[in-house]
Amino acid sequence: MTKLSVNINKIATLRNSRGGNNPNVLQAAINAQQFGADGITVHPRPDERHITYNDVRDIKKIITTEFNIEGNPREEKFIQLVLETLPHQVTLVPDALGQLTSDHGWNTLEHKNYLTNIIAVFKNAGIRVSIFIDPIIEMVKGAALTGTDRIELYTEAYAKQFVENKEKAIASYHQAAVKANELGLGINAGHDLDLQNLKYFAQNIPGLAEVSIGHALISDALYVGLENSIQLYKRQLQ
């Protein structure tokens, strides 16, 4: 079954809006694991506007499932944090400084040399590497040349099209997944996946190893509670 990694950035956003430690990000990570999450995802940014670097260090100490750290490897501080905490997986995202949220994948052809070098740094430390890409066949082929273990399909376009035409929405993602399987790449996915569109996505992406979901899952938890929300999402992946 596809694994569910719960992104807890939004818990930190709420905490930081008032200062102090309520809600407690570390406790949220512990609870998410107890409630059935297969992994915890965090995406620290240089301004620490949600997850802080110390949050990452603290979560590493209590993690009992898979730990996935997302971020821009062009930031030296991010590289140092990943090598210090040694998560199970690092997901490389081409964010700009101050970017609100991730909105595009790597051009794996244009940045092939850079990606090859930085991926080697993390893999030499024993960390599995995934790179964020758009569902474009040429980008998948380029990813395979960098030495990455996995790709993470950026799913915002799928989520936007899903309501109007789910077959059209999934087409490029299915094709990208087929090519990734041919090339021996593992497949992750994330961004704007929710209870309405997740099941169909998972059913149509061969070899989908993991989804990382934060905003929608935490938003749903406001209404049904964190444990129920995690279980509802896991059911969509069965």
Start-to-end Cα distance in the chain: 6
Q: Is 191 a catalytic site residue?
A: yes
Whether residue 151 contacts residue 185, with contact meaning beta carbons closer than 8 Å, is answered with yes
Q: Is 111 a catalytic site residue?
A: no
Cα atoms in the 13 Å half-sphere on the side-chain side of 68: 30
Of 50, 66, 70, 152, the catalytic one is 70
Distance CA 180, CA 205 (A): 10
Residue 89 host element (H or E): strand 89-92
Q: List 66's β-bridge partners, or say none.
A: 39
Residue type for position 81: L
Q: Is 210 a catalytic site residue?
A: no
Of 43, 50, 66, 210, the catalytic one is 43
Distance CA 64, CA 37 (A): 10
Distance CA 44, CA 11 (A): 13
**Going along 124-227, which residue ranges are E strands?**
128-133, 150-154, 186-190, 208-213
Of 50, 66, 152, 191, the catalytic one is 191
CB atoms within 10 A of CB 109: 14
Distance CA 110, CA 132 (A): 14
Distance CA 64, CA 38 (A): 9
Residue type for position 227: E
Catalytic sites, residue numbers: 43, 70, 191
